[in-house]
Amino acid sequence: MQIVSKGMRATQLYLPNNPVYQRAVENIRTAFRQIWQATDDLIFDIGETEIRWEDNAIYSQDQRNESIAWTLYKDGVRSLTFKPGVEDTEIVRFLAVLHQAKNLQADAADDLLTLLWAEDFQFVTYTFRELASENAVPIERSETSTAQMGGGGATPGGEAGTTDPTALRRQVEEEAPPKREGLVSVDDFDTTLYFLDDKEVDYLHKEVEREYAQDLRRNVLAMLFDLLELQTYGTVRAELISILENFIPYLLGAGDFRSVAFILRECKVILQRARELIPEHRQVLEALPSRLSQADALSQLLQSLDEATSHPTEEDLGELFSELRADALGTLMGWLPKLHNERVRALVQTAAERLAQAYAPEVLKALASTDPAVQIEMVRLAGRLKLPGAPDGMGPLLERGERDLKLAVVEALTTIGSPSATRLLEKAIDDSERDVRITAVKFLAQRGHRNAFPRIEAAVMGTKLKDADLTEKMAFFEAYGALAGAAGVSALEKILVPKGGLLARKEDPERRACAAMALGKTRAPAARDALQKVTQDKEALVRNAVSRALRELGAGSSASTASSGGGGGGSTGS
């Protein structure tokens, strides 16, 4: 009870998201769980200043304004029972009721008993006495007490009194005064306690369920929009629009995103159907979705969603995000890497993809943002969606962007694969970043893009790759072999096969190994002869590269033989 008392003060002073509040509630729940290990329920007797359990005073507070006992006692509660399960949710509500009852005014319409009855507790029961008569029989909550006629304590059917229903009814009828003529009594009709048939009871159940299942906010909003459409008076419409404007922040704070989306959709309907809508009202209604799409409002909404402990359904959020305007794209992309909640991140990404597909100019605007996070997320999004117009805004990023941004641009361009994308990848061959060059060269070689051949040839035959690592050299040489074909065998053979003589220039083993791999990519028969010349080379790196190239040429030769084997002439040589 000391823990409950402390918890009551904590719930009064702090909001539910405060750590002190949460710790106090958890302490109460822990204490109750320990109690349930020893007993099935807790029954307390309530006095003016103390609470007793099994005739032992376990709580005492003389200051009435601070006393839980006095708060209960002054409104007639004489006993209080807690049952297992009360600690989950009802104990917090019970403490809130006590706090509310303590602060009620003297002339208030409610009292503690009314508040307790309204909460409909399942794990909290109580008895109370009518304040007008202290000797009255306590009314047991959730139990039916049987009144006794005559002297108390007599056996059923005895002379002093009876609790038998039939005898009790007969005794009342004998003592009652005679009925006046013309007075209708329920006793004149053949009724029972449950006089409805099964179909009628089922109908009532369904109607009650339907009533409770209604969305009252949606009904109110529907009435507002009906009035807004039908009422042509300017003052009426101005007041209705003002109500809608003020209602949106409340709905967002309550997490009712579905209703906000409903408002935004209905505004578009009103703009089309409302008669005699003046320009001022039209302008305000058109601006409602735009206001939600503005950076400040949308950022606050996304932050609240990411930090919330309970989240709305994906359907509700999806409906809200589907109403965002094009100018929300930049804000969504900027928040995407900041979001920690996976559900919210997925919905934001879906909303951004929808806006990017619908509004191509906004994609270019987001690519030109000064925020690197927005740029890189927008580049990745454009790549996933294969937006054909996105490369127009990626050129500047490839020229002056940071390494991560450049890599994202190249990867997006390879995914898009449009003519404008491949033109940008040609420029990426000469980029200052190694990974950017390698990715661009590999993609262009795979696509067989001949326009990139002059740049690749200049790198292979020149000194540009002199200080490059083996991976980059290999990428450029293999791209050269794939694009040059048989025409490149002669140049590659000069690099691979060492020249005789003491004064002959010795090629770097890595460069020779790369030339061997490039010969394998040419798929030309002459490449095999060049490779055969160095199968016993003294450099292990060169020998391994030659072996791999010969295997690749063997696979290519087999494929060529298989494809031509069905022709006439009977030639089977290879």
Give pLDDT, residue 401: 74
Q: State how far the Cα of 537 lies from the Cα of 539, in Å rounded to an integer.
A: 5
Are the C-beta atoms of residues 516 and 535 closer than 8 Å to each other?
no
The phi, psi pair for 309, rounded to 5°, reads -85, -30
Q: In the 8-state DSSP scheme, what is residue 564?
A: H
Domain termination residue (choose one: 145, 160, 183): 145
Tokens of 208: 């009650």
Q: State how far the Cα of 238 lies from the Cα of 241, in Å rounded to an integer.
A: 5
Range of the domain at 139: 2-145
Give pLDDT, residue 172: 60
Q: In the 8-state DSSP scheme, what is residue 155?
A: P
> Cα dist. 163→55, 158, 201 in Å?
31, 9, 32
Q: State how far the Cα of 6 lies from the Cα of 28, in Å rounded to an integer.
A: 9
Is 534 contained in some domain? Answer: yes
Give pLDDT, residue 171: 66
Give pLDDT, residue 173: 62
Q: State how far the Cα of 230 lies from the Cα of 271, in Å rounded to an integer.
A: 12
> Which DSSP string do the residues of 19-54 spell out, in sequence order?
HHHHHHHHHHHHHHHHHHTT-S-EEEEE-SSEEEET
Low-confidence ranges of the chain (pLDDT < 70): 130-166, 168-194, 308-314, 316, 500-506, 555-574
Give pLDDT, residue 231: 84
**Nearest to residue 266, comparing CAs of 285, 240, 239, 292?**
285
Q: Which residue has the tokens 């009426």?
A: 236
> Cα dist. 84→7, 31, 542 in Å?
18, 12, 80
Give pLDDT, residue 408: 86
Backbone CA torsion sign across 107, 108, 112, 118: positive
Is 276 contained in some domain? Answer: no
Q: In the 8-state DSSP scheme, what is residue 164?
A: -
**Nearest to residue 383, comparing CAs of 403, 358, 363?**
363
> Which DSSP string do the residues of 398-467 spell out, in sequence order?
HHH--HHHHHHHHHHHHHH--HHHHHHHHHHTT-S-HHHHHHHHHHHHHHT-GGGHHHHHHHHHSSTTTT
CATH code assigned at 526: 1.25.10.10
Tokens of 331: 């804000």
Q: State how far the Cα of 177 lies from the Cα of 274, in Å rounded to an integer.
A: 68
Give pLDDT, residue 295: 78
pLDDT tens per residue, range 410-422 = 888 888 888 888 8
Residue 150, Ramachandran bin (φ over 0: left; ψ between -120 and 50: alpha; else beta)? left
Give pLDDT, residue 158: 43
pLDDT tens per residue, range 107-139 = 777 888 888 888 889 999 998 876 554 454 555
Q: State how far the Cα of 42 lies from the Cα of 295, in Å rounded to an integer.
A: 55
Give pLDDT, residue 503: 44
Contacts of 440 (CB under 8 A, 6+ apart): 410, 414, 425, 426, 428, 429, 431
Name the 3-class secondary structure at 309. coil
Give pLDDT, residue 31: 93
What total number of domains does the chain contain?
A: 2
Q: State how far the Cα of 497 lies from the Cα of 534, in Å rounded to an integer.
A: 7
Q: Which residue has the tokens 């009594």?
A: 185
Q: pTM value?
A: 0.47
Name the 3-class secondary structure at 275. coil
Give pLDDT, residue 192: 55
Position 331: which residue type? T
Is 313 contained in some domain? Answer: no
Q: State how far the Cα of 250 lies from the Cα of 312, in Å rounded to an integer.
A: 15
Tokens of 197: 């048939």
Give pLDDT, residue 83: 93
Contacts of 461 (CB under 8 A, 6+ apart): 491
Are the C-beta atoms of residues 330 and 365 closer than 8 Å to each other?
yes
Q: State how far the Cα of 327 lies from the Cα of 334, in Å rounded to an integer.
A: 12
Is 536 contained in some domain? Answer: yes
Angle at the Cα of 316 from the Cα atoms of 313 and 317, rounded to 5 degrees: 90
Give pLDDT, residue 206: 92
Q: State how far the Cα of 22 lies from the Cα of 7, in Å rounded to an integer.
A: 9
Domain termination residue (choose one: 145, 178, 195): 145
**Nearest to residue 529, comparing CAs of 502, 569, 492?**
492
**H or E element: which one contains 185?**
none
The Cβ of residue 204 has, within 10 Å, a number of other Cβ atoms equal to: 11
> Cα dist. 381→330, 385, 387, 409, 413 in Å?
12, 6, 9, 11, 11
Give pLDDT, residue 369: 77
Is 58 contained in some domain? Answer: yes
Strand partners, 126: 80
Domain termination residue (choose one: 145, 172, 187): 145
